[in-house]
Amino acid sequence: MCAVADSYDYDLFTIGAGSGGVRASRVAAAHGARVAVAEEYRVGGTCVIRGCVPKKMLVYGAHFAEDLEDAKQFGWNIEGKSFDWVRLRDHVLNDVTRLEGLYGQTLSNHNVTIYRERATITGAHEITLASGQVVTAKYILIATGARPHVPEFPGSEHVITSNEAFHLDALPRRVLIAGGGYIANEFAGIFNEFGCKVTIANRSDTILRSYDAALRDRLLQISMVKGISFLFHAEFEHIEKQADGSLLVKLTGQEPAEYDAVMVATGRVPNTQGLGLETIGVATGRNGEIVVDAFSKTNLDHVYAVGDVTDRVQLTPVAIREGQAFADSVFGPGEPYAVDRSCVPSAVFSHPPIAAVGLTESEARNQLGNIKVYQADFRPMKHVVAGRNERCLYKMIVDAANDRIVGIHMIGPEAPEIMQAAAIAVKAKLTKADFDATVAIHPTMAEELVLFK
Protein backbone atom coordinates (compact mmCIF):
# COMPACT_ATOMS: atom_id res chain seq x y z
CA MET A 1 0.00 0.00 0.00
CA CYS A 2 1.59 3.25 -1.08
CA ALA A 3 -0.21 6.52 -0.58
CA VAL A 4 -0.01 9.29 -3.15
CA ALA A 5 1.36 12.71 -2.27
CA ASP A 6 -1.51 14.44 -0.46
CA SER A 7 -3.48 11.44 0.63
CA TYR A 8 -1.37 10.45 3.60
CA ASP A 9 -3.28 9.83 6.83
CA TYR A 10 -0.93 12.22 8.63
CA ASP A 11 1.60 14.90 7.77
CA LEU A 12 3.81 13.63 10.58
CA PHE A 13 4.00 10.32 12.38
CA THR A 14 6.25 10.38 15.43
CA ILE A 15 7.49 7.13 16.94
CA GLY A 16 8.18 7.65 20.64
CA ALA A 17 6.46 10.11 23.01
CA GLY A 18 9.45 11.16 25.09
CA SER A 19 10.89 14.64 25.49
CA GLY A 20 11.92 15.08 21.84
CA GLY A 21 8.93 13.33 20.30
CA VAL A 22 6.32 15.17 22.36
CA ARG A 23 7.84 18.59 21.66
CA ALA A 24 8.14 17.89 17.93
CA SER A 25 4.60 16.54 17.67
CA ARG A 26 2.93 19.35 19.53
CA VAL A 27 4.87 22.10 17.71
CA ALA A 28 4.26 20.51 14.31
CA ALA A 29 0.56 20.32 15.15
CA ALA A 30 0.60 23.98 16.24
CA HIS A 31 2.04 24.78 12.82
CA GLY A 32 -1.03 23.14 11.31
CA ALA A 33 0.28 19.65 10.59
CA ARG A 34 -1.91 16.56 11.09
CA VAL A 35 0.14 14.61 13.61
CA ALA A 36 0.05 11.20 15.27
CA VAL A 37 2.44 9.75 17.79
CA ALA A 38 2.93 6.14 18.88
CA GLU A 39 4.23 5.21 22.31
CA GLU A 40 4.61 1.58 23.38
CA TYR A 41 5.28 2.30 27.06
CA ARG A 42 4.23 5.53 28.78
CA VAL A 43 3.84 9.07 27.42
CA GLY A 44 6.69 11.20 28.77
CA GLY A 45 9.60 8.93 27.94
CA THR A 46 12.71 8.27 29.97
CA CYS A 47 13.02 11.75 31.47
CA VAL A 48 9.54 11.93 32.93
CA ILE A 49 8.82 8.27 33.60
CA ARG A 50 12.14 6.75 34.71
CA GLY A 51 14.88 9.33 34.49
CA CYS A 52 15.52 12.98 35.32
CA VAL A 53 12.20 13.74 37.02
CA PRO A 54 11.71 10.84 39.46
CA LYS A 55 15.50 10.76 40.03
CA LYS A 56 15.48 14.40 41.11
CA MET A 57 12.61 13.65 43.50
CA LEU A 58 14.69 10.86 45.04
CA VAL A 59 17.66 13.25 45.29
CA TYR A 60 15.48 15.67 47.25
CA GLY A 61 14.27 12.83 49.46
CA ALA A 62 17.79 11.59 50.04
CA HIS A 63 19.17 14.99 50.98
CA PHE A 64 16.94 15.18 54.03
CA ALA A 65 19.29 12.64 55.65
CA GLU A 66 21.97 15.35 55.81
CA ASP A 67 19.58 18.22 56.45
CA LEU A 68 18.05 16.48 59.45
CA GLU A 69 21.50 15.68 60.78
CA ASP A 70 22.72 19.26 60.25
CA ALA A 71 19.56 20.67 61.83
CA LYS A 72 20.95 19.86 65.31
CA GLN A 73 23.58 22.60 65.10
CA PHE A 74 20.85 25.02 64.08
CA GLY A 75 19.02 24.29 67.32
CA TRP A 76 16.49 21.74 66.16
CA ASN A 77 15.92 18.54 68.11
CA ILE A 78 14.48 15.91 65.84
CA GLU A 79 13.59 12.88 67.87
CA GLY A 80 12.95 9.47 66.39
CA LYS A 81 13.46 10.36 62.76
CA SER A 82 13.09 7.46 60.38
CA PHE A 83 12.83 6.94 56.66
CA ASP A 84 10.09 5.10 54.78
CA TRP A 85 11.26 4.11 51.30
CA VAL A 86 7.89 2.76 50.19
CA ARG A 87 6.17 6.04 51.08
CA LEU A 88 8.67 8.08 49.07
CA ARG A 89 8.67 5.60 46.18
CA ASP A 90 4.89 5.59 45.88
CA HIS A 91 4.66 9.35 46.19
CA VAL A 92 7.23 9.74 43.40
CA LEU A 93 5.50 7.15 41.20
CA ASN A 94 2.13 8.86 41.72
CA ASP A 95 3.62 12.17 40.65
CA VAL A 96 5.10 10.53 37.58
CA THR A 97 1.60 9.30 36.70
CA ARG A 98 0.27 12.85 37.14
CA LEU A 99 2.95 14.21 34.81
CA GLU A 100 2.30 11.45 32.29
CA GLY A 101 -1.33 12.61 32.22
CA LEU A 102 -0.27 16.21 31.62
CA TYR A 103 1.97 15.19 28.71
CA GLY A 104 -0.89 13.21 27.17
CA GLN A 105 -3.22 16.19 27.66
CA THR A 106 -0.77 18.54 25.95
CA LEU A 107 -0.75 16.28 22.92
CA SER A 108 -4.53 15.90 22.88
CA ASN A 109 -5.03 19.66 23.29
CA HIS A 110 -3.01 20.11 20.12
CA ASN A 111 -5.11 17.47 18.33
CA VAL A 112 -2.22 15.02 18.15
CA THR A 113 -3.54 11.46 17.87
CA ILE A 114 -1.87 9.15 20.38
CA TYR A 115 -1.48 5.44 19.59
CA ARG A 116 -0.55 3.72 22.82
CA GLU A 117 1.17 0.80 21.14
CA ARG A 118 4.35 -0.11 19.32
CA ALA A 119 4.84 1.18 15.80
CA THR A 120 7.03 -0.29 13.08
CA ILE A 121 8.01 1.27 9.78
CA THR A 122 6.78 -1.07 7.05
CA GLY A 123 7.11 1.10 3.97
CA ALA A 124 8.60 4.38 2.80
CA HIS A 125 5.64 6.32 4.24
CA GLU A 126 3.89 3.47 6.02
CA ILE A 127 3.71 2.58 9.70
CA THR A 128 2.14 -0.58 11.09
CA LEU A 129 0.87 -0.50 14.67
CA ALA A 130 0.96 -3.46 17.04
CA SER A 131 -2.82 -3.81 16.63
CA GLY A 132 -2.28 -4.42 12.89
CA GLN A 133 -3.62 -1.00 11.86
CA VAL A 134 -1.65 0.53 9.01
CA VAL A 135 -1.28 4.30 8.67
CA THR A 136 0.62 6.52 6.28
CA ALA A 137 2.49 9.75 6.82
CA LYS A 138 4.34 12.27 4.71
CA TYR A 139 7.11 12.60 7.30
CA ILE A 140 8.29 10.12 9.91
CA LEU A 141 10.10 11.22 13.06
CA ILE A 142 11.95 8.63 15.10
CA ALA A 143 12.26 9.64 18.75
CA THR A 144 12.52 6.28 20.47
CA GLY A 145 15.27 7.23 22.93
CA ALA A 146 17.76 4.85 24.45
CA ARG A 147 17.83 2.06 27.00
CA PRO A 148 20.38 1.00 29.63
CA HIS A 149 23.33 -0.96 28.30
CA VAL A 150 23.88 -4.18 30.23
CA PRO A 151 27.20 -5.96 29.63
CA GLU A 152 26.94 -9.69 28.91
CA PHE A 153 28.48 -12.04 31.48
CA PRO A 154 27.35 -15.12 33.42
CA GLY A 155 24.67 -14.03 35.88
CA SER A 156 23.90 -10.71 34.17
CA GLU A 157 20.21 -11.61 34.41
CA HIS A 158 20.40 -10.80 38.14
CA VAL A 159 21.23 -7.12 37.72
CA ILE A 160 18.86 -4.19 37.74
CA THR A 161 19.19 -0.88 35.89
CA SER A 162 17.93 2.61 36.68
CA ASN A 163 14.59 1.49 35.16
CA GLU A 164 13.98 -0.87 38.05
CA ALA A 165 15.58 1.29 40.75
CA PHE A 166 12.44 3.44 40.99
CA HIS A 167 10.27 0.41 41.76
CA LEU A 168 12.27 -1.50 44.40
CA ASP A 169 10.12 -3.26 47.03
CA ALA A 170 12.75 -2.51 49.62
CA LEU A 171 16.10 -0.76 49.73
CA PRO A 172 19.07 -3.12 49.35
CA ARG A 173 21.30 -3.24 52.44
CA ARG A 174 24.40 -3.59 50.21
CA VAL A 175 24.30 -2.35 46.65
CA LEU A 176 26.94 -2.56 43.95
CA ILE A 177 26.65 0.01 41.17
CA ALA A 178 28.60 -0.66 37.99
CA GLY A 179 29.73 2.39 36.02
CA GLY A 180 31.26 5.71 36.95
CA GLY A 181 29.08 8.14 34.99
CA TYR A 182 25.99 10.23 35.66
CA ILE A 183 23.63 7.50 36.76
CA ALA A 184 26.15 5.60 38.90
CA ASN A 185 27.15 8.70 40.87
CA GLU A 186 23.61 10.01 41.21
CA PHE A 187 22.19 6.72 42.48
CA ALA A 188 25.23 6.11 44.68
CA GLY A 189 24.41 9.39 46.43
CA ILE A 190 20.72 8.52 46.71
CA PHE A 191 21.20 5.00 48.10
CA ASN A 192 24.00 6.11 50.41
CA GLU A 193 21.87 8.86 51.97
CA PHE A 194 19.10 6.29 52.51
CA GLY A 195 21.54 4.21 54.53
CA CYS A 196 22.50 1.52 52.01
CA LYS A 197 26.14 0.41 51.85
CA VAL A 198 27.13 1.53 48.36
CA THR A 199 30.05 0.33 46.24
CA ILE A 200 30.77 1.80 42.81
CA ALA A 201 32.76 -0.39 40.40
CA ASN A 202 34.05 1.14 37.19
CA ARG A 203 36.00 -0.39 34.34
CA SER A 204 38.55 2.46 34.30
CA ASP A 205 39.96 4.59 37.11
CA THR A 206 38.05 7.71 36.07
CA ILE A 207 34.58 8.79 37.12
CA LEU A 208 32.54 11.30 35.14
CA ARG A 209 35.13 11.42 32.38
CA SER A 210 33.79 14.53 30.62
CA TYR A 211 33.98 16.78 33.71
CA ASP A 212 36.90 18.89 34.95
CA ALA A 213 39.45 16.71 36.78
CA ALA A 214 39.46 18.85 39.93
CA LEU A 215 35.70 18.47 40.35
CA ARG A 216 35.84 14.74 39.72
CA ASP A 217 38.52 14.39 42.38
CA ARG A 218 36.48 16.48 44.81
CA LEU A 219 33.37 14.36 44.27
CA LEU A 220 35.40 11.19 44.72
CA GLN A 221 36.89 12.47 47.96
CA ILE A 222 33.55 13.68 49.38
CA SER A 223 31.78 10.49 48.31
CA MET A 224 34.40 8.38 50.08
CA VAL A 225 34.08 10.47 53.24
CA LYS A 226 30.32 9.91 53.09
CA GLY A 227 30.94 6.16 53.04
CA ILE A 228 30.72 5.19 49.37
CA SER A 229 33.38 2.66 48.32
CA PHE A 230 35.01 2.73 44.89
CA LEU A 231 36.57 -0.14 42.94
CA PHE A 232 38.48 0.72 39.78
CA HIS A 233 39.53 -1.42 36.82
CA ALA A 234 36.75 -3.72 37.97
CA GLU A 235 34.59 -5.47 35.41
CA PHE A 236 32.10 -8.28 35.90
CA GLU A 237 33.35 -11.85 35.70
CA HIS A 238 30.18 -13.47 37.05
CA ILE A 239 27.30 -13.15 39.50
CA GLU A 240 25.76 -16.07 41.39
CA LYS A 241 22.44 -15.85 43.16
CA GLN A 242 22.76 -17.49 46.55
CA ALA A 243 20.15 -19.47 48.50
CA ASP A 244 19.32 -16.46 50.73
CA GLY A 245 18.68 -14.30 47.66
CA SER A 246 21.92 -12.32 47.97
CA LEU A 247 24.25 -11.97 45.00
CA LEU A 248 27.83 -13.19 45.01
CA VAL A 249 29.72 -10.94 42.61
CA LYS A 250 33.14 -11.61 41.13
CA LEU A 251 34.82 -8.59 39.58
CA THR A 252 38.20 -8.54 37.88
CA GLY A 253 41.00 -7.99 40.40
CA GLN A 254 38.64 -8.40 43.37
CA GLU A 255 37.72 -11.20 45.75
CA PRO A 256 34.08 -12.36 45.38
CA ALA A 257 31.78 -10.18 47.49
CA GLU A 258 28.13 -10.32 48.52
CA TYR A 259 25.53 -7.70 47.67
CA ASP A 260 21.75 -7.50 47.94
CA ALA A 261 21.39 -5.71 44.62
CA VAL A 262 23.59 -4.98 41.63
CA MET A 263 22.70 -2.00 39.48
CA VAL A 264 24.30 -1.46 36.10
CA ALA A 265 24.79 2.12 34.84
CA THR A 266 27.26 1.69 32.01
CA GLY A 267 25.80 3.97 29.39
CA ARG A 268 22.68 3.85 27.26
CA VAL A 269 22.15 2.40 23.78
CA PRO A 270 19.84 3.82 21.11
CA ASN A 271 16.46 2.08 20.70
CA THR A 272 16.61 1.20 17.01
CA GLN A 273 16.02 -2.55 16.99
CA GLY A 274 12.85 -3.84 15.38
CA LEU A 275 11.75 -0.42 14.15
CA GLY A 276 11.85 -1.44 10.49
CA LEU A 277 14.70 0.94 9.67
CA GLU A 278 16.27 -1.60 7.35
CA THR A 279 12.96 -1.99 5.48
CA ILE A 280 13.31 1.53 4.10
CA GLY A 281 17.11 1.84 4.38
CA VAL A 282 17.57 4.36 7.22
CA ALA A 283 21.31 4.51 7.92
CA THR A 284 22.53 3.67 11.42
CA GLY A 285 25.94 3.99 13.06
CA ARG A 286 28.24 1.71 15.06
CA ASN A 287 26.10 1.67 18.21
CA GLY A 288 22.85 1.38 16.30
CA GLU A 289 22.24 5.13 16.51
CA ILE A 290 20.38 6.83 13.68
CA VAL A 291 22.74 8.94 11.64
CA VAL A 292 21.36 12.45 11.05
CA ASP A 293 22.56 15.78 9.71
CA ALA A 294 22.52 19.13 11.55
CA PHE A 295 18.76 19.38 10.84
CA SER A 296 18.10 15.92 12.33
CA LYS A 297 17.40 14.52 8.86
CA THR A 298 18.40 10.92 8.12
CA ASN A 299 19.72 9.75 4.77
CA LEU A 300 16.06 9.76 3.62
CA ASP A 301 14.53 13.18 2.96
CA HIS A 302 11.25 12.46 4.75
CA VAL A 303 12.61 10.59 7.78
CA TYR A 304 14.04 12.50 10.76
CA ALA A 305 15.30 11.48 14.19
CA VAL A 306 15.79 13.46 17.41
CA GLY A 307 16.99 12.79 20.95
CA ASP A 308 18.93 9.89 22.45
CA VAL A 309 18.21 7.59 19.48
CA THR A 310 20.70 9.72 17.52
CA ASP A 311 23.33 9.45 20.30
CA ARG A 312 24.51 13.04 19.92
CA VAL A 313 24.11 14.74 23.32
CA GLN A 314 22.03 12.46 25.59
CA LEU A 315 20.31 15.26 27.51
CA THR A 316 16.60 16.02 27.71
CA PRO A 317 16.81 19.76 27.01
CA VAL A 318 18.86 19.04 23.90
CA ALA A 319 16.30 16.49 22.67
CA ILE A 320 13.56 19.07 23.25
CA ARG A 321 15.44 21.64 21.19
CA GLU A 322 16.01 19.10 18.43
CA GLY A 323 12.28 18.32 18.38
CA GLN A 324 11.40 22.01 18.30
CA ALA A 325 13.92 22.79 15.53
CA PHE A 326 12.70 19.85 13.45
CA ALA A 327 9.04 20.88 13.76
CA ASP A 328 9.73 24.58 13.07
CA SER A 329 12.02 23.77 10.15
CA VAL A 330 9.77 21.25 8.42
CA PHE A 331 6.31 22.62 9.26
CA GLY A 332 6.88 26.24 10.30
CA PRO A 333 6.83 29.37 8.16
CA GLY A 334 10.50 30.32 8.67
CA GLU A 335 13.81 29.09 7.34
CA PRO A 336 15.13 25.72 8.55
CA TYR A 337 17.55 26.04 11.44
CA ALA A 338 19.87 23.71 13.34
CA VAL A 339 20.25 23.39 17.11
CA ASP A 340 23.25 25.25 18.51
CA ARG A 341 25.10 22.67 20.61
CA SER A 342 27.85 24.98 21.81
CA CYS A 343 28.11 25.73 25.51
CA VAL A 344 25.52 23.18 26.66
CA PRO A 345 25.47 23.37 30.46
CA SER A 346 25.05 20.13 32.37
CA ALA A 347 24.79 18.83 35.90
CA VAL A 348 25.28 15.65 37.86
CA PHE A 349 22.83 15.38 40.75
CA SER A 350 25.30 13.64 42.99
CA HIS A 351 25.73 14.46 46.70
CA PRO A 352 26.93 17.22 46.38
CA PRO A 353 25.97 18.06 42.80
CA ILE A 354 28.33 19.08 40.02
CA ALA A 355 27.51 21.62 37.31
CA ALA A 356 29.54 22.71 34.33
CA VAL A 357 29.48 24.74 31.17
CA GLY A 358 32.11 25.16 28.48
CA LEU A 359 35.67 23.88 28.38
CA THR A 360 37.39 22.04 31.22
CA GLU A 361 40.82 23.26 32.23
CA SER A 362 42.60 20.58 30.21
CA GLU A 363 40.36 21.09 27.15
CA ALA A 364 41.02 24.84 27.29
CA ARG A 365 44.79 24.30 27.60
CA ASN A 366 44.75 22.01 24.59
CA GLN A 367 42.52 24.21 22.47
CA LEU A 368 43.63 27.71 23.50
CA GLY A 369 47.09 27.31 24.99
CA ASN A 370 47.22 30.48 27.03
CA ILE A 371 44.52 30.43 29.69
CA LYS A 372 43.91 31.76 33.18
CA VAL A 373 42.35 29.55 35.81
CA TYR A 374 40.56 31.03 38.82
CA GLN A 375 39.54 28.85 41.71
CA ALA A 376 37.49 29.22 44.89
CA ASP A 377 37.76 26.40 47.39
CA PHE A 378 35.54 27.18 50.35
CA ARG A 379 33.28 25.80 53.05
CA PRO A 380 29.78 27.28 52.66
CA MET A 381 28.38 29.04 55.72
CA LYS A 382 25.68 26.43 56.20
CA HIS A 383 28.28 23.67 56.40
CA VAL A 384 30.44 25.68 58.81
CA VAL A 385 27.50 26.13 61.20
CA ALA A 386 26.49 22.50 60.78
CA GLY A 387 30.03 21.31 61.46
CA ARG A 388 30.06 19.54 58.11
CA ASN A 389 33.55 19.38 56.71
CA GLU A 390 32.55 19.50 53.06
CA ARG A 391 34.05 22.10 50.75
CA CYS A 392 32.76 23.61 47.51
CA LEU A 393 35.05 24.04 44.55
CA TYR A 394 34.33 26.60 41.82
CA LYS A 395 36.56 27.07 38.79
CA MET A 396 36.52 29.68 36.08
CA ILE A 397 38.56 29.16 32.91
CA VAL A 398 39.42 32.31 30.98
CA ASP A 399 40.98 32.75 27.55
CA ALA A 400 44.06 34.88 28.36
CA ALA A 401 44.04 36.37 24.86
CA ASN A 402 40.74 38.24 25.29
CA ASP A 403 39.58 37.74 28.92
CA ARG A 404 36.59 35.71 27.72
CA ILE A 405 35.21 33.08 30.08
CA VAL A 406 35.33 29.73 28.29
CA GLY A 407 34.32 27.46 31.15
CA ILE A 408 32.77 27.43 34.62
CA HIS A 409 32.82 24.33 36.83
CA MET A 410 31.23 23.95 40.24
CA ILE A 411 30.72 21.31 42.87
CA GLY A 412 28.70 22.18 45.93
CA PRO A 413 25.13 22.66 47.19
CA GLU A 414 22.79 24.09 44.55
CA ALA A 415 25.55 24.16 41.91
CA PRO A 416 23.10 23.31 39.07
CA GLU A 417 20.71 26.09 40.18
CA ILE A 418 23.55 28.61 40.17
CA MET A 419 25.00 27.32 36.91
CA GLN A 420 21.88 27.90 34.85
CA ALA A 421 22.34 31.68 35.20
CA ALA A 422 26.13 31.58 34.89
CA ALA A 423 25.81 29.56 31.67
CA ILE A 424 24.00 32.49 30.03
CA ALA A 425 27.08 34.62 30.61
CA VAL A 426 29.44 32.04 29.15
CA LYS A 427 27.15 31.46 26.17
CA ALA A 428 27.00 35.24 25.68
CA LYS A 429 30.82 35.29 25.63
CA LEU A 430 31.12 37.61 28.62
CA THR A 431 34.53 38.34 30.11
CA LYS A 432 36.06 37.96 33.54
CA ALA A 433 35.90 41.77 33.75
CA ASP A 434 32.11 41.60 33.25
CA PHE A 435 31.85 39.26 36.21
CA ASP A 436 34.19 41.44 38.30
CA ALA A 437 32.02 44.47 37.52
CA THR A 438 28.97 42.73 38.96
CA VAL A 439 28.25 43.40 42.63
CA ALA A 440 28.11 40.31 44.81
CA ILE A 441 24.96 39.17 46.60
CA HIS A 442 26.19 38.62 50.12
CA PRO A 443 26.22 36.19 51.79
CA THR A 444 25.73 33.51 49.15
CA MET A 445 27.80 30.72 47.66
CA ALA A 446 27.19 32.11 44.17
CA GLU A 447 28.96 35.37 45.01
CA GLU A 448 32.24 33.49 44.65
CA LEU A 449 31.66 33.69 40.89
CA VAL A 450 32.15 37.47 40.92
CA LEU A 451 34.90 37.48 43.54
CA PHE A 452 37.52 35.27 41.88
CA LYS A 453 41.03 36.71 42.44
Q: Which residues bind ligand NDP (CB under 6 A)?
A: 151, 179-184, 186, 202-204, 206, 209, 235, 265-268, 314-315, 346-349
In terms of CB distance, is 41 or 232 closer to ligand NDP? 232
In terms of CB distance, is 195 or 267 closer to ligand NDP? 267
Asked whether 76 and 50 are in contact (CB, 8 A), the reply is no
Residue nearest to ligand NDP (CB): 181
DSSP string, 90-108: HHHHHHHHHHHHHHHHHHH
CA distance 38 to 130: 10
Asked whether 128 and 134 are in contact (CB, 8 A), the reply is yes
383 in active site = no
Considering the complex, what minimum distance in angstroms separates the CB of residue 114 from ligand NDP? 26
In terms of CB distance, is 180 or 358 closer to ligand NDP? 180
Considering the complex, what minimum distance in angstroms separates the CB of residue 144 from ligand NDP? 15
In terms of CB distance, is 220 or 315 closer to ligand NDP? 315
* Contacts with 247 (C-beta within 8 Å, 6 or more apart), sequence order: 155, 158, 176, 239, 240, 241, 258, 259, 260, 261, 262
Residue 76 burial by CB count (10 A; 0-12/13-18/19+): exposed, middle or buried? Answer: exposed
Query: For residue 208, which amino acid is it?
Result: L
Considering the complex, what minimum distance in angstroms separates the CB of residue 232 from ligand NDP? 9
Considering the complex, what minimum distance in angstroms separates the CB of residue 332 from ligand NDP? 28
CA distance 188 to 178: 10
Considering the complex, what minimum distance in angstroms separates the CB of residue 199 from ligand NDP? 14
In terms of CB distance, is 222 or 415 closer to ligand NDP? 415
Beta-bridged to residue 160, according to DSSP, are 263
Catalytic-role residue among 110, 167, 383, 442: 442
CA distance 168 to 160: 10
Q: Which residues does the annotation mark as catalytic?
A: 442
